[in-house]
Amino acid sequence: MLKQTLQQKMLQKLSPQQIQFIKLLQVPTAMLEQRIKEELEENPALEESEWEEPDLKDEYSDLDEEREPEEVDEYDEVAEQEVDVSEYLEADDTPDYKLEDNNYRSEEDERDFRPGFSVVNSFHEQLMDQLSLLDLTEEEFLVGQQLVGSIDEDGYLRRPLHSIVDDLAFSQNIHVEEEVVEAMLQRIQKFDPAGVGARDLQECLLLQLERKKDKQSARDAIKILNRFFEEYTKKHFDKIARSLNLDREAMRLAHQEIIHLNPRPGNSGADNSKVMQVIPDFVIHNEDGELQLRLNARNAPDLRISDTYKEMFRHYEKAEKRDKKMREAVSFVKQKLDAAKWFIDAIRQRQHTLLSTMDAIMEHQRDFFYTGDQTKLKPMILKDIADKVNLDISTISRVANSKYVQTEFGTFLLKSFFSEGIMTDSGEEASSKEVKQILSDLIGAEEKRRPLADDKLAELLNEKGYNIARRTVAKYREQLGIPVARLRKEL
């Protein structure tokens, strides 16, 4: 039975301006330039300014708290209304926002913002270059092209050959037997880098060892991986050596051959590949004992409202007759001007939020930024920083998850400075980062033939005053990407 009811509900909804600010806040510096270019292309009322800006501190003083952008009229109604143009005509040519604070250095110092690291793109073009050098029929080339396109970024062919046969039949109307595809794959597996085109890790390693068969250690390694791959991954070295009648030295040399192979050949030999640089959003310098924080502003040019669009409003104000078409034109112009103002305001809020958040993190972790010693990191959670800068925890999370800071000791993701606290014997609270660093140091200094078990590691940490259980040690070890003691054993 259908019936109608009347209900009252309280809902929270984000305005379009708030959504725009949130999206911009998440964008790292490396991508902000592209985002601004897109906005400039879409909105002709927004343009870059050549204006040399004064100091920003006074302008930021009224942004100490998050503020909600003003609501605007519905645009479909504006065409029927008289538009107040005074707010647009009163503005002078000075852009109403800028990105450079007085703690910024000159453009010459922008070179201080070194790339944190590089992410290498796909190597498929290299494989296609090698494929084109083979003496192939048109059909063979298309089969090879399909195989190369099916190889993933790690260098593996994860797709079954019978699926490749189906792909060729449906997409290119080429009907071949699976044996033909297998034969072409074997030719591709001879390409550089060694190991490319393998269907699993075992085949990848064997393909690389096949190119070293002139060495006895490589031949022994091939026997090990062919017959005892599972046992080798579990480091049952003694069992393997007995089964193959290898002495300790021969087993050690074979093991050395295997561990120096590349399990991900797709990530190698990329000198000619395009590189995307990850650019730090902040830089911190120690100048005469004082930490100086700067924000990377090179990817955020000054923006302003277009003079052309202001002139349109002046023309409207002077017009004696304001008919419907003119009002509709002014409505369109107003939409573009409002969108430009929102974007400028969102960029400005973004910069202020980044600066205030990073400044609070720097103050909280001052000892680390002076020394670079991770054991100096203090316990810090998102709420600690959110309380200091009067922002929501979700806002701090968006900043920490996608922004990098360059220091004298390396480039770090802001998220890496956050950690929970652990009580020590002295009653002080230590950061879990500090405990992880000590744990990593203990494992790094262990005797590799007799690696330390989690129980022993917990015992050593307790001796240093950190009261943590074995299961906590295991959790931290896994977070550090360190395997269990048996898998760390070396010959």
What's at 189, amino acid-wise?
Q
Q: Which residues pair with 305 in a beta bridge?
A: 46
C-alpha dihedral over 285, 286, 287, 290, to 10 degrees? 120
pLDDT at 31 over 80: no
3-class secondary structure, 180: helix
Question: For residue 82, what pLDDT band results from cuts at 50, 70 and 90?
Answer: very low
3-class secondary structure, 295: strand
pTM: 0.50
Element (H, E) at 291: strand 290-295
Question: For residue 329, what pLDDT band results from cuts at 50, 70 and 90?
Answer: confident
Residues 104-131 pLDDT 10s:
444 444 445 555 554 444 578 888 889 9
Question: For residue 277, what pLDDT band results from cuts at 50, 70 and 90?
Answer: low
Highest mean pLDDT, choosing among 116-120, 240-244, 482-486: 240-244
pLDDT at 197: 92
Query: Closest by alpha carbon to 102, among 57, 51, 49, 50?
Result: 57
Query: Closest by alpha carbon to 30, among 404, 332, 484, 459?
Result: 404
Identify the residue with better confidence: 369 or 402: 369
Long-range contacts of range 456-459, CB-CB < 8 Å, 24 or more positions apart? none
pLDDT at 181: 92
Highest mean pLDDT, choosing among 78-82, 181-185, 338-342, 472-476: 181-185
Identify the residue with better confidence: 12 or 83: 12
Residues in the chain: 491
Mean pLDDT taken over the chain = 77
CATH top-level class for 419-488?
A: mainly alpha
The span from the CA of 200 to the CA of 229, in Å, is 12
pLDDT at 279: 79
340 close to 46: Cβ distance less than 8 angstroms: yes
Question: For residue 437, what pLDDT band results from cuts at 50, 70 and 90?
Answer: confident
- Regarding beta strands 303-305 and 290-295, do their DSSP bridges make them parallel or antiparallel, or are they unpaired? unpaired
Task: Encode burial over 54-64: b for 16+ CB neighbours within 10 A, e otherwise.
Answer: eebeebbeebe
The span from the CA of 83 to the CA of 329, in Å, is 11
Residue 196, number of CB atoms within 10 A of its CB: 28
pLDDT at 280 over 60: yes
What's at 365, amino acid-wise?
Q
pLDDT at 300: 61
pLDDT at 482: 87
> CA quadruple 372, 377, 382, 383: dihedral positive or negative?
negative
Residue 296, number of CB atoms within 10 A of its CB: 25
Out of 263-267, 420-424, 457-461, least confident range: 420-424
pLDDT at 51: 42
411 close to 118: Cβ distance less than 8 angstroms: no
Q: What percent of the chain has a predicted confidence (pLDDT) above 90?
A: 18
Question: For residue 62, what pLDDT band results from cuts at 50, 70 and 90?
Answer: very low
Q: What percent of the chain has a predicted confidence (pLDDT) above 70?
A: 75
The span from the CA of 335 to the CA of 72, in Å, is 10
141 close to 185: Cβ distance less than 8 angstroms: no
Biggest alpha carbon distance in the chain?
103
Identify each DSSP E strand in 72-223 by its residue range: 117-120
State phi, psi for 440 to the nearest 5 degrees.
Answer: -60, -40
Question: For residue 490, what pLDDT band results from cuts at 50, 70 and 90?
Answer: confident
Q: Where are the alpha helices (DSSP H) in 110-200?
A: 124-132, 138-150, 161-172, 178-188
Highest mean pLDDT, choosing among 313-317, 368-372, 419-423: 368-372
**Rounded average pLDDT over 72-80:** 37
The span from the CA of 317 to the CA of 330, in Å, is 10
The span from the CA of 221 to the CA of 47, in Å, is 64
pLDDT at 322: 66
pLDDT at 85: 46
3-class secondary structure, 475: helix
Identify the residue with better confidence: 68 or 342: 342
Domain ranges of the chain: 124-267, 419-488
